[in-house]
Chain A
Amino acid sequence: MAQGIKDHDDKTHPLQGAGGLDHAALSDIFNQDENRVDWHDETLWWIRQKRDKAVNQLPEWESLRETASQIKNNVLSDLSNYLLQFEANATKNGITIHWAADAKEHNEIVLSLLLSKQVMQMVKSKSMLTEECHLNEFLAENGIDVIDSDLGERIVQLAKEPPSHIVLPCIHKKKEEIGELFHQYLGTPAGNADPQFLTETARQHLRETFLTRKATLTGVNFAVAATGEFVVCTNEGNADMGAHLADIHIASMGIEKIIPERKHLGVFLRLLTRSATGQPITTYSSHFSKPRAGQEMHIIIVDNGRTVQLGREDFRNSLKCIRCGACMNTCPVYRRSGGHSYHNAISGPIGSILAPNLDMEKYADLPFASTLCGSCSNVCPVKIDIHQQLYKWRQVIVKNGYATTAKKASMHLMSFTLSTPSVYHVGGKAGRWVLKHAPFAVNNKFNPWYKHRDMPEPPKESFGEWYAKNKNGKQ
């Protein structure tokens, strides 16, 4: 395996507080509170509907998706040149470029930049890459205080939890829980859970932070090869508040954030927020090209497994992702299992095809956390074949011996049954008999299909039997 890939015994960061539990076990925890699951499900579906409403206003939506997909295909096919071009142009603009092979190197670069300026406190706007790299934990261990400035991220930071969604970090939290956190950490009156009031409190608290931090870190939504500029999108304005006040601005980006030319921003900015939340565009789409007078601007370009994914023909398309979160909002499994059940920085369908590349054993469960309904692929603004990749990962994982013993046994049995007609017919008969005469044999807690479901009424006969009887028009 190439550099940057954590091998499976790296347990220094027990990922996302999962404690070694897999998706099914973590979903069980989430599913204990059925009302909360319903609420979570409905909230995300509502966002999906807002997306549909926004999308339906653009007759050219499908050609826009196709165009974005083709641009990203071009980027992946010529990425080495684009990276060089971006580096040259950004450097010309006065930005310092750093390269990080893996999460560790990324984190060390950030730390050394901060220490070179004797900065011990940093304000950060949303960056899923830094979640992937576990930057906050690393900096904390090294005595650096980091404050997340996106409201949702600040809330999960106070709760000492990872974000559960890439666009909506605290979508799993009820306002009463947020009110309680604010009461505990920000001194708001107990029992006040009014979103307006809590947001205003966070505004005051974080304004003080922005004004006193000398260093800021932001993510990068798009990096333009031809101009060396990068674009950061927020609704809150937190990336800008950080960047325009701090002495040093560090921007972290994966190698796949490159787009060829400035005009291509038009395509992606039209797709991003409509897909994410149904807004026509984020409030702020800021184009950073040069540091302001007296300021330092650094970009860290991170690999962390991406070049390996680029070499996997079946999975490289996952690198086209623009992190809109539409696949999560639409996913029936995500909506009813919650983001934390994926025990990875990026959850949901897209996380499930990105994570196994980083550590196939640790994330062997994720490609199975799907019904393969294909809704994710249908809403993806850059047309990633997400559900097909989920299906392909399952095969790779089983072939490499990373599936659980039970899953392996059941898949072998399934494969044997489906390829042996006599066994298949006997099996079908036996199944119908059991469902009819001994339902308790399947309606028990050892059968995961029975959870939250009733087993179906067994048909009297199989289609094959019915057809054999009826093919001559006789009853």
Chain B
Amino acid sequence: MSSRDKILAAVALNQPGKVDLPDINFLKGTTGNHIEKFIEVLTSIGGKAIAVKSFDDIVAFVKQTTNPGDRVVSTFHEMSDVELINKYHGLPHDLQDIELAVIGAGLGVAENGAVWIKGDLLSQRVIPFICQHLAVILKKDEIVANMHDAYEKIGNEDYGFSTFIAGPSKTADIEQSLVLGAHGARTMTVFLIE
């Protein structure tokens, strides 16, 4: 008997009588405007939210916060003067010198400041992690109240990889002192666009 069959047989033998799943619909949040809450929570976890009117504002921000010669990549063709990363065919390792990545988010969650990043829209999944600084563009009306609402929106979406990202990479492993920029991005900026 293989370990698989042994384990499955032991589980079947030892599991208790069937108990039903609870209904979780009652946990859904309220509809309405959650932008303020999202900004408040994102700020509290070390992220930054900036309301913008158009891509021009984002382009201006990039110019302001990076130096000439810095590798800036984006998945948005609206971003002029930056490396369009959608068709990148190289090794993920060669993305290690990205200073700033500007990518899109599918939705934002007000209760925890997280944004949903669809990895399949990135040529390499490592982009939001390996970049020194991460910027995400999120439509204001894509912000939901809580995680239950988020998963309702995600539904049966078929993906190879997706991730919630909430603020910059962090650690408090040394005497509980919070340090931003552990292994992932040192800063996280969310551009809220109409």
Summarize A's interface: helix, strand, loop or mixed.
helix
Q: A195-B179, A240-B129, A245-B92 are in contact. Are A266 and B150 (CB under 8 A)?
A: yes
A244 touches B124 (CB 8 A): yes
Interface residues of A (CB under 8 A from B): 2-3, 43, 46-47, 60, 63-64, 66-67, 70-71, 73-74, 76-80, 83-84, 93, 99-101, 105, 149-152, 155, 168-171, 173-175, 178, 195-196, 198-200, 202-203, 206-207, 210-211, 235-238, 240-241, 243-245, 255, 260, 262-267, 269-270, 277, 279-292, 301, 303, 307-308, 310-311, 313, 316
Q: Looking at the complex, which one of B18, B112, B162 makes contact with A77 (CB distance below 8 Å)? A: B18
Across the interface, do B182 and A236 meet the contact criterion of CB distance under 8 Å?
A: yes
Report which residue of A151, A199, A207 has the largest number of chain B beta carbons within 10 angstroms of its beta carbon. Answer: A199
Interface contact B14-A308, CB-CB below 8 Å: yes
Cα(A313)–Cα(B15), bound, Å = 9
A198 in contact with B151 (CB, 8 Å): no
| Complex A-B: 24 CB contacts under 8 Å | A47-B176, A71-B24, A77-B16, A79-B15, A93-B160, A196-B179, A198-B174, A200-B181, A235-B170, A240-B163, A241-B129, A245-B93, A262-B151, A263-B152, A270-B111, A270-B146, A281-B112, A283-B165, A283-B169, A285-B164, A285-B166, A290-B159, A311-B13, A316-B14
Across the A-B interface, the 5 shortest Cβ-Cβ residue pairs: A237-B184, A311-B14, A280-B112, A236-B182, A244-B126
Contacts of B60 in A (CB 8 A): none
CB distance B2 to A99 under 8 Å? Answer: yes
Cross-chain contact A80 with B3 (CB below 8 angstroms): no
Separation of A264 and B25 alpha carbons in the complex (Å) = 11
Specify which of A284, A290, A292 is in contact with B165 (CB 8 Å cutoff): A284
Q: Which residues of A contact B130 (CB under 8 A)?
A: 241, 244-245
CA A199 to CA B16, docked complex, whole Å:
46
Beyond A281-B114, A284-B184, A285-B166, 15 extra complex contacts between A and B, CB < 8 Å:
A2-B10, A60-B27, A77-B17, A77-B19, A152-B171, A195-B177, A236-B182, A240-B126, A260-B21, A262-B151, A263-B148, A281-B166, A286-B164, A308-B14, A310-B14
Closest A residue to B109 by beta carbon equals A281
List of B residues within 8 angstroms of A241 by Cβ: 126, 129-130, 183-184
Let me know if A269 and B147 touch, CB within 8 A. yes
A203 touches B181 (CB 8 A): yes
Q: Kindly state the separation between the CA atoms of A203 and B168 in the bound complex, as whole angstroms.
A: 14
Query: Residues of B within 8 Å of A, CB-based: how many?
Result: 70
Within 8 A of A (CB), among B18-65: 18-22, 24, 26-27, 41, 45
* Assembly CA distance A100 to B7 (angstroms): 8
Within 8 A of A (CB), among B144-194: 146-148, 150-152, 154, 156, 159-177, 179, 181-185
Q: What separation, in Å, do the CA atoms of A265 and B7 have in the docked complex? A: 25
**Bound form: Cα–Cα A79–B7 in Å:** 11
Whether B7 and A101, one on each chain, are in contact in the complex, defined by CB atoms closer than 8 angstroms, is: yes
Residues of chain B within 8 A (CB-CB) of A263 are 24, 148, 151-152
In the complex, the answer to whether A101 meets B148 with C-beta atoms within 8 Å is: no
Known: A43-B176, A244-B126. A283 touches B168 (CB 8 A): yes
B163 contacts A310, C-beta separation under 8 Å: no
CB pair B15–A67 under 8 Å, yes or no, is no
The smallest beta-carbon distance between A388 and chain B, in angstroms, is: 17
Chain A residues with CB under 8 A of B166: 280-285
Of all chain B residues, which has the CB nearest A125? B183
- Whether A174 pairs with B182 at a CB distance below 8 angstroms is no
Q: Is the CB of B27 within 8 A of A210?
A: no
In the bound complex, residues from chain B placing their C-beta under 8 Å from that of A175 are 174-175, 177
* Whole-angstrom distance between the Cβ of B176 and the nearest chain A Cβ: 6
Q: Known interface pairs A84-B8, A238-B182. Does A174 touch B175 (Cβ–Cβ under 8 Å)?
A: yes
Quick check: A195 and B184 within 8 Å, CB to CB? no
B interface residues, Cβ below 8 angstroms from A: 2-4, 6-8, 10-22, 24, 26-27, 41, 45, 92-93, 96, 109, 111-114, 124-126, 129-130, 146-148, 150-152, 154, 156, 159-177, 179, 181-185
Assess the A279–B19 pair: CB atoms within 8 A. no
Out of B18, B163, B183, B185, which one reaches A210, CB within 8 Å? B183
Report whether B21 and A310 are in contact in the complex, using a CB–CB cutoff of 8 Å.
no
Q: A70-B19, A77-B18 are in contact. Are A237 and B183 (CB under 8 A)?
A: yes
CA distance A171 to B177 in the complex (A): 11
How far is B173's CA from A174's CA once the two chains are assembled, in angstroms? 10
CA–CA, A66 and B27, complex, Å: 12
Check if B179 sits within 8 Å of A199, measured CB to CB: yes
Our pick among B6, B16, B151, B161 for the contact of A3 (Cβ within 8 Å) is: B6
Q: Which residues of B contact A281 (CB under 8 A)?
A: 109, 112-114, 147, 164, 166
| Residue in A149, A169, A288 with the greatest tally of chain B CB atoms within 10 Å | A288
Considering only CB atoms, which chain B residue lies closest to A232 in the complex? B163
Q: Which residue of B lies closest to A150 (CB)?
A: B173
Distance between B71 CB and nearest chain A CB, rounded to angstroms: 15
Which of B6, B112, B114, B146: most chain A CB closer than 10 A?
B112
Chain B residues near A237 (CB, 8 Å)? 129, 169, 182-185
Which listed residue (B18, B41, B172) contacts A280, Cβ 8 A?
B41
Chain A residues closer than 8 Å to B126, beta-carbon distance: 240-241, 244-245
Minimal Cβ-Cβ distance residue in A for B186: A203
Identify A235's interface contact among B26, B125, B152, B182, CB under 8 A. B182
Closest Cβ of chain B: how far from A220's Cβ, in Å? 14
Shortest Cβ distance from residue B171 to the other chain A in the assembled complex, whole angstroms: 5
